[in-house]
Amino acid sequence: MSKLHVSTSINGEPVEFLCTAAESMLDVLRGPLGLTGTKEGCGTGDCGACSITVDGRLVCACLMLAVEAEGHEIGTIEGMAQGDRLHPLQQKFLEMAALQCGICTPGVLMASRALLEKNPDPTEEEVRFGLAGNLCRCTGYDKIVRAVLETAAEMRSAA
Amino acid sequence: MNDMANKWIGARTIRPDGADKVTGRAQYSADTTMPGMIWGKVLRSPHAHARIRGIDTSRAEALPGVKAVVTHKDIVEFPLDKSVMLGIQDMRWMCRNVMAREKALFHGHPIAAVAAISEEVAAAACALIEVDYEVLPHVIEIEDAIRPDAPILHEWNRFEGKPSNIAGTMVLKAGDIEKGFAEADIVVERSFTTRPVHQGHIEPQSCTVSYAADGRVTIWSSSQGQFMVRAMTSLLTGIPQSDIRAIPAEIGGGFGAKTIIYLEPVAVMLSRKSGRPVKMVMTREEVQRATGPAPGSLMTVKMGAKKDGTLVAAQGTFYLQAGALPGSPLRGPVGCSFAAYAIPNVLSVGYDVVSNRSKVAAYRAPGAPHGAFAAETVLDEIAEALGIDPLDLRLRNSAKAGDKAIYGPNFGAVTFKETVEAIKHHPHYTAPLDKNPRPGFKRGRGVASGFWYNAGGESSVQVNITEDGNVLVTTGHPDVGGSRASIANVVAELLGVDHARVNVMIGDTQTIGFSNLTGGSRVTFASAMVATASTEKVIGQLKERAARIWKIEADAVKWEDGMALPAGDNAGKFPPLSLKDLAAKANEMGGPIGTQVQLNTTGADPGFATHCVDVEVDVELGIVRVLRYTAAQDVGRALHPGYVEGQIQGGVVQGIGWALSEEYLYDAKGRVDNAGFLDYRMPVCSDVPMIDPIMIEIPNPKHPQGVRGVGEAPIVPPLAAIANAVYDALGRRFYALPMSPPRVTERLAEG
């Protein structure tokens, strides 16, 4: 199968890659682009470990064809911190032990950021539904939900 | 316990591996690549049960891009008549689980594997392998597998002199069971079933393996023990352990499932044959079909009590699924179900039942949740029948220090009552509950307790003082949930240095001494004990160096707040020497500072937990929702409270899934019908409430910091606690799990 040329933007930087028509965005991120922070838990859009943003919208990278990135802005976990300055969600997750094994963490953080961008003052229930597409088997979600609520409160008071 | 004397032990520090994990830098198993790497794929049985008459790989081998094909002929065979054990795993079964030999025993059983230049070519080659199957009748459920006319999986296996699917038994006894029941004023006997549940780790099993021209092997994989990976791979490939370097990648969840291997020996043989590094990654479907799960069960529990609630007899019969090859965790239900109670007459019997399912693997407190579901439900019925508060019934019958445990030893400290008291006096248990909140909904409250053995075992910890006076600790244990953070707290405390100056790494098999599995709630117990011994030795070295510099006796030096100080008669005579000062002078004063301690640790006393849960049932739709959950546990000492709470909260939510929604579904041909996260329904964030953990800290006197294992016990009580709460809501007992909407509506329709 001959390869297709794709021009896109990843974490604010211009990126070009070649892919087949069958390859998913997840395959390309983790493979040729070496962005392995986006994880594969199921490949069927059920676990959310591969959550990325496309023009700011939360997407499972395993359900998106790589060619669909053409002309769009992709955001991955690697772009969440600014240099060595962690995003407030990343910092809060560390302070509140909101991760254990950490495999779901990149996806949970991407989904949490997308949630707070849309809704800076979510209720517990809104956080729980906002993260319902991200499976975590270690934490029981308690500390994740608390970390998102607390980050939201801090970001609001800082704004 | 808020011990003011401690600065770091008990502090909610930032974990050493934290920044890597929130930025995507952490290297998990599937994140590794190698120059020249090719891809391996497994061909799996489409049948639940079939004799393999022949395998023809010639067409696959001829496909362009294919570099190697392996079958069972490439894996070391362990003959059926001689057991070779590695820990609790029998290599006779492991070699047949990794690659089918005489028969395909379950849908998904590996038959052959291919390595090729891409995953697509490898998959295409798998489709070209011709397998001559003689399809055999299959059996899935325990009740069918133990019938006299059941299809037999292993013709060589005998039970009571006849071919059978019962592959083993375990019996524990105390007193005289008949006499015990004769003395009882009330006897309750019930039968229970639970369905198999998967560990549900989000990271699929995977590995990257390099077999070099000199015969040396490097394995990158995530597991609950790199030494287990090395030992099993060595046994299954015949390559000596000294030539296998198993590098532990970050592990994306295990919960017991990664205490055995599936891919590594296959990848080694593919790499050996092809001369190329080989990467293999399971799909989620493969994970669900062919790894884990925890067994399903068929159980009968009978308990007898006096009118005042004193338990006088308990009998349990526990049939557990082994999957296709023997080895279910019988010691879980047989040993744990009645262990928290002082019952004079006990008979507890387990049966290991094979059927055409994937071989079971350990899952958090293996086997204990099953037995607790049965025993703690029966206790709830006894409490109700006698008009006794269910927590008071537990308090009255708690085992105590010195009692002989049903599984053998005499108990040291028994801290069960403290967990029951914690729930009894908690505002959750004493809060009023509106049982009829609105039309069509009912609410109920339930309690249950749980027991787990905990474990010690082998650990190795190296502590090195770097040349610039900082601290590097290396352990041999994969960190599944914050163990590095706990060890950093311990070492920083003992050395009296800032936590941020202590880095904790996980060594590979060729760089750190033998360390047993991360499992059984043993790692923080064992590695903190060994890290303490190691750090104390280093402090001894540091004091000795200071003594040399000051030209005084080493025992005239004390170590305080990260500094050597002259003590006794010499107090105040010399300025203190910091860790940095001593590190700078290390080489002129005797060489590098550091040591490794390797111990087989003992003294891990058992863990007890008591839980309380409120549920709401939608009577029309049969949906059970957990509204409030409180979990009390004696944790001994929380080295890092955040990750101790996390163990409790995570274990509880896995228990909620087990109780309410998770189960394997099979079609009529014995094929897994729900091999994915959409249809295998684990709890998501919106399914559960906050989980309130109560950490009771009664220090374990046999551990330097008082640590008791934590991880397993929290999954033991939830099944029964939720069933008891559903009974409180609906007035109906559920003896079968999961209490999923179809089951609940069906039960309610029975009228």
Tokens 């779901």 belong to residue: A104
Nearest CA-CA partner of B200 in A100, A41, A50, A98 = A41
Residue B221, domain CATH: 3.90.1170.50
- Residue B185 inside a domain? The answer is no
State the DSSP H helix or E strand holding residue B391, giving kind and residue range, or none if neither: helix B390-397
Q: Is the complex ipTM more than 0.90?
A: yes
For B595-651, how does the pLDDT look when each residue is reduced to its tens digit (9 = 90+)?
Answer: 999 999 999 999 999 999 999 999 999 999 999 999 999 999 999 999 999 999 999
- Residue B640 inside a domain? The answer is yes
> How many Å apart are CA B173 and CA B157, to the nearest integer?
26
> How many Å apart are CA B669 and CA B673, to the nearest integer?
10
Residues B507 and B551 in one domain: yes
Determine, for residues B646 and A95 on separate chains, whether the beta-carbon distance falls below 8 Å: no
Over 90: is that where the pLDDT of B394 sits?
yes
State the DSSP H helix or E strand holding residue B460, giving kind and residue range, or none if neither: strand B457-465
Residue B516, domain CATH: 3.30.365.10
The pairing of strands B166-174 and B345-354 is: antiparallel
Residues B316 and B262 in one domain: no
C-alpha distances out from residue B107 to B104, B285, B289, B675, Å: 8, 11, 7, 11
Question: What does the DSSP assignment read for B213-261?
Answer: TTS-EEEEE--S-HHHHHHHHHHHH---GGGEEEEE-B-S--TTGGGS-
Mean pLDDT for the stretch of residues A134-144: 98
- Residue B420 inside a domain? The answer is yes
Name all domains of chain A by residue range, CATH numbers in brackets. Answer: 4-79 (3.10.20.30), 88-158 (1.10.150.120)
Instruction: Report the amino acid identity of residue B127.
Output: A
Chain mean pLDDT for chain B? 97
Mean pLDDT for the stretch of residues A32-37: 98
Q: What percent of chain B has pLDDT over 90?
A: 98
Closest-CA distance, B460 to chain A, in angstroms, reads: 22
For the ranges A52-56, B3-7, B393-397, B557-561, the lowest mean pLDDT is seen at: B3-7
For residue B1, the model assigns a pLDDT of: 40
Residues B94 and B220 in one domain: yes
Preferred mutation among A29, A115, A141 to probe B, highest tally of B CBs within 10 A: A141
Tokens 């269910």 belong to residue: B390
> How many Å apart are CA B444 and CA B574, to the nearest integer?
69
Pick from A43, A97, A140: which is nearest to B688 by CB? A140
C-alpha distances out from residue B252 to B21, B27, B267, B653, Å: 11, 10, 20, 17
Residues B396 and B407 in one domain: yes
Helices (H) and strands (E) in chain B, counts: 20, 30
Mean pLDDT for the stretch of residues B238-259: 98
Mean pLDDT for the stretch of residues B212-218: 97
Domain limit, last residue, from B601, B632, B655 = B601
For B252-282, how does the pLDDT look when each residue is reduced to its tens digit (9 = 90+)?
Answer: 999 999 999 999 999 999 999 999 999 999 9
C-alpha B745: how far from chain center: 33
For residue A159, the model assigns a pLDDT of: 84
Closest-CA distance, A97 to chain B, in angstroms, reads: 6
CB environment B347-363: b (16+ within 10 A), e (fewer):
bbbbbbbbbbbbbbbbb
Q: Are A41 and A135 in contact (CB under 8 A)?
A: yes
Residues B447 and B593 in one domain: no
Determine, for residues A137 and B682 on separate chains, whether the beta-carbon distance falls below 8 Å: yes
Tokens 């060594």 belong to residue: B507
Residue of A nearest to B223 (CA): A101
Residues B584 and B480 in one domain: yes
Over 80: is that where the pLDDT of B407 sits?
yes
Determine, for residues B682 and A43 on separate chains, whether the beta-carbon distance falls below 8 Å: no
Domain limit, last residue, from B601, B626, B661 = B601
- Residue B172 inside a domain? The answer is no
Residues B340 and B484 in one domain: no
Domain count, chain B: 3
* Model confidence band, residue B715 (pLDDT cutoffs 50, 70, 90): very high
- Residue B1 inside a domain? The answer is no
Residues B642 and B706 in one domain: yes
For residue B2, the model assigns a pLDDT of: 41
Domain limit, last residue, from B601, B618, B648 = B601
Preferred mutation among B284, B628, B685 to probe A, highest tally of A CBs within 10 A: B685
For B346-384, how does the pLDDT look when each residue is reduced to its tens digit (9 = 90+)?
Answer: 999 999 999 999 999 999 999 999 999 999 999 999 999
CB environment B86-113: b (16+ within 10 A), e (fewer):
eeebbbbbbbbbbbbbebbbbbbbbbbb
* Residue B270: partners with Cβ closer than 8 Å, 6 or more residues away: B40, B67, B68, B70, B113, B114, B115, B209, B278, B280
> How many Å apart are CA B441 and CA B103, to the nearest integer?
51
For residue B5, the model assigns a pLDDT of: 77
Determine, for residues B686 and A76 on separate chains, whether the beta-carbon distance falls below 8 Å: no
Closest-CA distance, B28 to chain A, in angstroms, reads: 8
Over 60: is that where the pLDDT of B4 sits?
no
- Residue B700 inside a domain? The answer is yes
Residue of A nearest to B680 (CA): A46
Over 90: is that where the pLDDT of B472 sits?
yes
Residues B333 and B250 in one domain: no
Question: What does the DSSP assignment read for chain A?
Answer: ---EEEEEEETTEEEEEEE-TT-BHHHHHHTTT--TTS--S-SSSSS-TTEEEETTEEEEGGGSBGGGGTT-EEE-GGGTSBTTB--HHHHHHHHTT--SS-SSHHHHHHHHHHHHHH-SS--HHHHHHHTTTS--SSSTTHHHHHHHHHHHHHHHHH-
Residues B434 and B472 in one domain: no
Mean pLDDT for the stretch of residues B85-103: 97
Q: With beta carbons under 8 A apart, name residues in chain B contacting A126.
A: none
Residues B115 and B261 in one domain: yes
C-alpha B703: how far from chain center: 22
Preferred mutation among B15, B28, B202, B694 to probe A, highest tally of A CBs within 10 A: B202
Residues B638 and B723 in one domain: yes
Mean pLDDT for the stretch of residues B703-716: 97
Mean pLDDT for the stretch of residues B421-435: 98
Q: With beta carbons under 8 A apart, name residues in chain A contacting B655.
A: none
Q: Are B202 and B432 in contact (CB under 8 A)?
A: no
* Model confidence band, residue A1 (pLDDT cutoffs 50, 70, 90): low
Domain range for B544 is 18-26+455-601
Pick from A102, A137, A139: which is nearest to B250 by CB? A102
For residue B366, the model assigns a pLDDT of: 98
Pick from A78, A104, A127: which is nearest to B202 by CB? A104
